[in-house]
Chain A
Amino acid sequence: MPVDRLLPSDEAYDLLALVRDIAAEQLAPRAAADEAAERFPRDAFRLLGQAGLLALPYPEEYGGGAQPYEVYLQMLEEIAAAWMSIGVGVSVHALATYAIASYGSEDQRAQLLPAVLGGEQLGAYCLSEAQAGSDVASMTTKAVRDGDAYVINGVKAWISHGGHADFYLLFARTAADRSKGISAFHVPAGTAGMSFGAPERKMGLTASTTTQVVFEDARVPVAYRLGDEGDGMRVALSALDSGRLGIAACATGLAQAALDVAVLYATQREQFGQRIGDFQGLQFLLADMAAATEAARATYLYAARLRDAGRRFSRQASIAKLVCTDAAMRVTTDAVQVLGGYGYTREFPVERYLREAKVTQIFEGTNQIQRMVIGRDLLRSVSG
């Protein structure tokens, strides 16, 4: 059953209907096979781009859809429900896109955004390093100015779409200052001196390739720097809140997918002469899963509506990321429980959902970092 959504306009209803069609016909049927084969579905992003789905929250002048985040995130939720790797991929692509849309010069936007929004150019986001995860300001990758270019050296880690992306949104150190010494760059694929590590062997999201990105004397023209020298941390932080909402929406979609499988199974599986769904013990399990999923959706949508209204939404974004990803973990775990032994096999999708849920508590700011953000914001609201 499709999720009953409250949307702000007629076109948003038509849009979500389109997304559901694409998700059901083009994404869901191949998700399990591509995940098992660890096959990166580059063509799926092209399809989403052609349908205009990668462009939804951006201004019309660059080919965007000028849709509120409330609508964009629900689109993302539907996609993630059909195939989590694609949902996460869209969210990663959005991080890279956001940096260009927000900090690119007029020329950079006009030159780069149409292909990025149309899905012809897939983005990757190179922020983390092996020793700079949650503590991102400790990064050591260097960009040294040499004439009209920067010479980049260093290794970026945990890069989604590594080796498959058409451009890399790179953060590198241009000065020693911990946070003000970082700059942002648009690095096209194929730049000499850029190479990729072997794909990480991950627990889930196996169709979404994750690699190290290695820079060895890679030359990036000064014209490809986004914002001023030293603006990098600002660029990274500005995309953070929106990125957290993207992952919150994906996690909610994943929880919804697990719930849907569990409910269907509970109506079909019979034990002791009746459907297992008719046992109250199992109904309570399903009810708690539904409550967690719908509470997650309400939480990210509240943050999105604050964002759409131009209000501050940092704390709510962190709360949404925390609540939605924890919900996804719990709901996918319980879905395996509902399916019993079958749920533990790879014949059913719920064990994959469980594996996919785990990383949502880790990336885009661990849930411990989210608690720090929330806690600090609470104290600041009292002590200023």
Chain B
Amino acid sequence: MNIVVCVKHVPDATANRTFRASDNTVDRAGVDGLLSELDEYAVEEALKIAEAGDGEVTVLTMGPEPATDAIRKSLQMGAHKGVHVSDDAIHGSDAIATSLVLAAALKRLEYDLVLCGMASTDGVMGLVPAMLAERLGIPALTYAVEVSIDGDRVTVRRDSDTAVETVVAPLPAVVSVTDQINEPRYPSFKGIMAAKKKPVETWTLADLDVDASQVGLDAAGTAVTSYQARPPRSSGTVISDEGDGGVQLVDFLAAQKFV
């Protein structure tokens, strides 16, 4: 079984992230990048499925040169090979263009199952998995908290506030997974050493026959028009109990509409 995991290299969510003043795109230079935490769950799920049967896991990413770090981390966790789509024209692409490029790359790969994280930790839109499935003409099963493969069918469980859904689809399919699905493994030292020898291919838009005018900032249907720094955290409200502490607490919670 061939599994392709789509992963994204994002600015570290725990660092001070910002935008580039020149074109209002995410600043990827000033902050350390890493494999999007939400994609680690997809990599882990792919590895579990592959290990349970006879599977091969390919990691696919799109992004500038440092994005190869996201592939390397996945390979260190145990994925078998990587594909990196890198092209200056991609800069500033929105979700629609991202799905276009990833779909073009997937058409050149063999896959039975495409796994994605539920969203990236920088854009946090969560749209690419469904768009990708649409472009590939295969089913999309999103926000899975459990995935099982039975022959040529995939079954996922989705948990919502009001219902637990079981969704079944024929393979190939695109499945996005949540952070509830598993506990991603750490790489091991052996994994780090093994990853150095695993194959990583780099493709350009020309390799994929994607017209550069369809991607990038100019083609994006969305734009960041302005942004401002998060306001500094203000100090909280301190309540001293002088007999009426309980009342004050309830008043505070009521004012915040918590009760």
Residues of A within 8 A of B190 (CB): 52, 65
Closest B residue to A50 by beta carbon equals B188
Give the distance in Å from the alpha carbon of A65 to the alpha carbon of B187 in the complex: 14
Tell me if B186 is interfacial: C-beta within 8 Å of chain A.
Answer: yes
In the assembled complex, the CB of B194 is this many whole angstroms from the nearest CB of chain A, namely: 10
Contact assessment for A21 and B189 in the assembled complex, using a CB-CB cutoff below 8 Å? no
Contact assessment for B186 and A22 in the assembled complex, using a CB-CB cutoff below 8 Å? yes
Digitize A1-35: 1 where CB-to-B-CB distance is under 8 Å, 0 elsewhere: 00000000011001100100110000000000000
Contact assessment for A18 and B196 in the assembled complex, using a CB-CB cutoff below 8 Å? no
Digitize B42-86: 1 where CB-to-A-CB distance is under 8 Å, 0 elsewhere: 000000000000000000000000000000100010000000000
Query: Which of chain B's residues 107-164 have a Cβ closer than 8 Å to chain A?
Result: none
Tell me if B29 is interfacial: C-beta within 8 Å of chain A.
Answer: no
Give the distance in Å from the alpha carbon of A142 to the alpha carbon of B92 in the complex: 74
Residues of B within 8 A of A51 (CB): 186-189
In the assembled complex, the CB of A260 is this many whole angstroms from the nearest CB of chain B, namely: 15
Contact assessment for A52 and B196 in the assembled complex, using a CB-CB cutoff below 8 Å? no
Contact assessment for B196 and A11 in the assembled complex, using a CB-CB cutoff below 8 Å? yes
Please indicate which of the listed interface residues A14, A15, A47 has the most CB atoms of chain B within 10 Å of its own CB.
Answer: A14
Please indicate which of the listed interface residues B189, B190, B193 has the most CB atoms of chain A within 10 Å of its own CB.
Answer: B189
Give the distance in Å from the alpha carbon of A2 to the alpha carbon of B42 in the complex: 28
Digitize B14-56: 1 where CB-to-A-CB distance is under 8 Å, 0 elsewhere: 0000000000000000000000000000000000000000000
Residues of B within 8 A of A53 (CB): 189
Contact assessment for A14 and B192 in the assembled complex, using a CB-CB cutoff below 8 Å? yes
Tell me if A184 is interfacial: C-beta within 8 Å of chain B.
Answer: no
Residues of A within 8 A of B189 (CB): 15, 18, 51-53, 55-56, 65, 67
Contact assessment for B76 and A14 in the assembled complex, using a CB-CB cutoff below 8 Å? yes
Q: On chain B, which size bracket covers the interface?
A: 10 to 19
Residues of B within 8 A of A22 (CB): 186
Residues of A within 8 A of B186 (CB): 18, 21-22, 47, 50-51
Residues of A within 8 A of B192 (CB): 11, 14-15, 18
Query: Which of chain B's residues 174-207 have a Cβ closer than 8 Å to chain A?
Result: 186-190, 192-193, 196
Query: Which of chain A's residues 49-84 have a Cβ closer than 8 Å to chain B?
Result: 50-53, 55-56, 65, 67
- Chain A: residues with Cβ within 8 Å of the partner, total of 16
A contacts with B: majority SS: helix
Residues of B within 8 A of A18 (CB): 76, 186-187, 189, 192
Closest B residue to A56 by beta carbon equals B189
Residues of B within 8 A of A65 (CB): 189-190, 193
Give the distance in Å from the alpha carbon of A22 to the alpha carbon of B189 in the complex: 12
Give the distance in Å from the alpha carbon of A50 to the alpha carbon of B192 in the complex: 13
Give the distance in Å from the alpha carbon of A52 to the alpha carbon of B196 in the complex: 16
In the assembled complex, the CB of B189 is this many whole angstroms from the nearest CB of chain A, namely: 3
Give the distance in Å from the alpha carbon of A11 to the alpha carbon of B76 in the complex: 11
Residues of B within 8 A of A14 (CB): 72, 76, 187, 192
Give the distance in Å from the alpha carbon of A53 to the alpha carbon of B72 in the complex: 19
Closest A residue to B34 by beta carbon equals A17
Residues of B within 8 A of A55 (CB): 189
Closest A residue to B193 by beta carbon equals A11
Give the distance in Å from the alpha carbon of A11 to the alpha carbon of B72 in the complex: 11
Residues of B within 8 A of A67 (CB): 189
In the assembled complex, the CB of B137 is this many whole angstroms from the nearest CB of chain A, namely: 38
Closest B residue to A22 by beta carbon equals B186
Digitize A32-50: 1 where CB-to-B-CB distance is under 8 Å, 0 elsewhere: 0000000000000001001
In the assembled complex, the CB of A54 is this many whole angstroms from the nearest CB of chain B, namely: 10
In the assembled complex, the CB of A60 is this many whole angstroms from the nearest CB of chain B, namely: 9
Digitize B219-237: 1 where CB-to-A-CB distance is under 8 Å, 0 elsewhere: 0000000000000000000
Residues of A within 8 A of B187 (CB): 14, 18, 51
Give the distance in Å from the alpha carbon of A14 to the alpha carbon of B76 in the complex: 9
In the assembled complex, the CB of B203 is this many whole angstroms from the nearest CB of chain A, namely: 23
Residues of B within 8 A of A52 (CB): 188-190
Give the distance in Å from the alpha carbon of A18 to the alpha carbon of B190 in the complex: 12
Closest B residue to A51 by beta carbon equals B188
Closest A residue to B187 by beta carbon equals A18
Residues of A within 8 A of B72 (CB): 14
Closest B residue to A63 by beta carbon equals B190
Query: Which of chain A's residues 310-334 have a Cβ closer than 8 Å to chain B?
Result: none
Give the distance in Å from the alpha carbon of A22 to the alpha carbon of B190 in the complex: 16
In the assembled complex, the CB of B142 is this many whole angstroms from the nearest CB of chain A, namely: 27
Give the distance in Å from the alpha carbon of A56 to the alpha carbon of B187 in the complex: 14
In the assembled complex, the CB of A173 is this many whole angstroms from the nearest CB of chain B, namely: 39
Give the distance in Å from the alpha carbon of A10 to the alpha carbon of B72 in the complex: 12
Give the distance in Å from the alpha carbon of A52 to the alpha carbon of B190 in the complex: 7
Give the distance in Å from the alpha carbon of A22 to the alpha carbon of B191 in the complex: 15
**Besides the contacts A11-B192, A14-B76, A52-B190, what 10 more A-B pairs have beta carbons closer than 8 Å?**
A15-B189, A18-B187, A18-B189, A21-B186, A47-B186, A50-B188, A51-B187, A51-B189, A52-B188, A55-B189
Can you list 8 contacts pairing A with B, beta carbon distance less than 8 Å? A11-B192, A11-B196, A14-B76, A18-B189, A22-B186, A50-B186, A51-B186, A65-B190
Top 3 A-B pairs, shortest CB-CB distance: A52-B189, A52-B188, A14-B192
